[in-house]
Structure 1
Amino acid sequence: MPLGHPMITCGKAGIVRSNPRYANLSSANDVPTSVRAALCDPAWFQAMHDEYSALQANGTWELVPRPCGAHVITGEWIFKNKFHEDGSLERCKARWVVRDFSQCLGLNFDQTFSPVVKLATICTVLHLAVAPN
Structure 2
Amino acid sequence: MTLGASSPPRDVELPGHPMITRARAGIHKPNPKYAMTVSTDVSPIPRSVRSAVKDPHWYAAMKLEFDALQANKTWTLVPRPPGARVITGKWVFKHKMNPDGSLERYKAWWVVRGFNQRPGIDFGETF
% identical equivalent positions: 51
* RMSD of aligned alpha carbons: 2.2
Q: How does 1:20-39 map to 2 (within 5 A)?
A: 20-22=35-37, 24-26=38-40, 28-39=42-53
Shift of 1:25: 4.6
CA displacement, residues 79-108 of structure 1 (integer Å, 9 cap, x when unaligned): 000001110111110000100111110221
Letter aligned with residue 31 of structure 2: S
Q: Specify every segment of 5 or more residues in structure 2 that has no aligned partner in the other structure, as ranges.
A: 1-19
- State the SS of the aligned residue for 2:36: helix
Aligned length: 99
Q: 2:118 aligns with which of 101, 104, 107?
A: 104
Pick aligned residue for 2:60 from 46, 66, 71: 46
Q: Could you list the runs of 5+ residues in structure 1 that have no partner in the other structure?
A: 1-11, 112-133
Native 8 Å contact 2:87 2:117 kept in 1: yes
Counterpart secondary structure, 1:21: coil
Separation in 2, partners of 1:47, 1:29: 12
TM-score by length of 2: 0.69
Q: Distance between the aligned counterparts of 2:76 and 2:30, measured in 1?
A: 49
What amino acid does structure 1 have at the position aligned with 2:62?
M
* Residues 30, 96 of structure 1: alpha-carbon distance in 2 compared, 3 angstrom cutoff: same
Displacement of 1:21 after TM fit? Answer: 3.2
Q: Give the letter aligned to residue 72 of structure 2.
A: N
2:93 partner amino acid: F
The residue aligned with 1:65 is 79
Matching residue's letter, 1:47? A
Query: Structure 1 residue runs of 4+, over 6 Å off?
Result: none
Secondary structure in structure 1 of the residue aligned to 2:115:
helix
1:83 matched residue in structure 2: 97
Q: 1:18 aligns with which of 31, 36, 42?
A: 31
1:13 CA displacement: 5.5
Q: CA deviation at 1:30?
A: 1.1
In structure 2, C-alpha distance between the alignment counterparts of 1:84 and 1:28, rounded to whole Å = 13
User: Quick one: distance in 1 between partners of 2:43 and 2:57?
Assistant: 9
More helix by share: 1
